Amino acid sequence: MALNKDEILAGLAEIVNEETGVPTEDVQLDKSFSDDLDIDSLSMMSICTFAEEKFDVRIPDEELQNLVTVNDAVSFIEGAQN
């Protein structure tokens, strides 16, 4: 069953918190991973790997550069669900 945007956001916030220590309540749709949440590219790769496992989706490496904001990632995961 496909998850909705709020469920994806909550799951992604948990992953970001576990990987970087950023509080889950700070992970909001309008936040930029690098500018607002101070997440570097290496942490972003780990977050994407865990997101692939958690949400059972594939995030191609070339797509990673397009995931600038939390909303970008949530929308991509939402669209990639089977």
Buried-exposed string 38-59: b where 16+ CB fall within 10 A, e elsewhere? ebeeebbeebbebbeeebebeb
CATH topology of domain 5-80: 1.10.1200
pLDDT at 22: 98
Collapse the DSSP code of 32 into the 3-class scheme (helix H, G, I; strand E, B; otherwise coil) and give the result. strand
pLDDT in tens, 28-72: 999 999 999 999 999 999 999 999 999 999 999 999 999 999 999
Reported pTM:
0.94
Q: Tokens representing 58?
A: 């594939």
Asked if 38 and 11 touch (Cβ cutoff 8 Å), the reply is: no
- Confidence grade of residue 1 (pLDDT, cut at 50, 70, 90): confident
Q: Tokens representing 33?
A: 């991973």
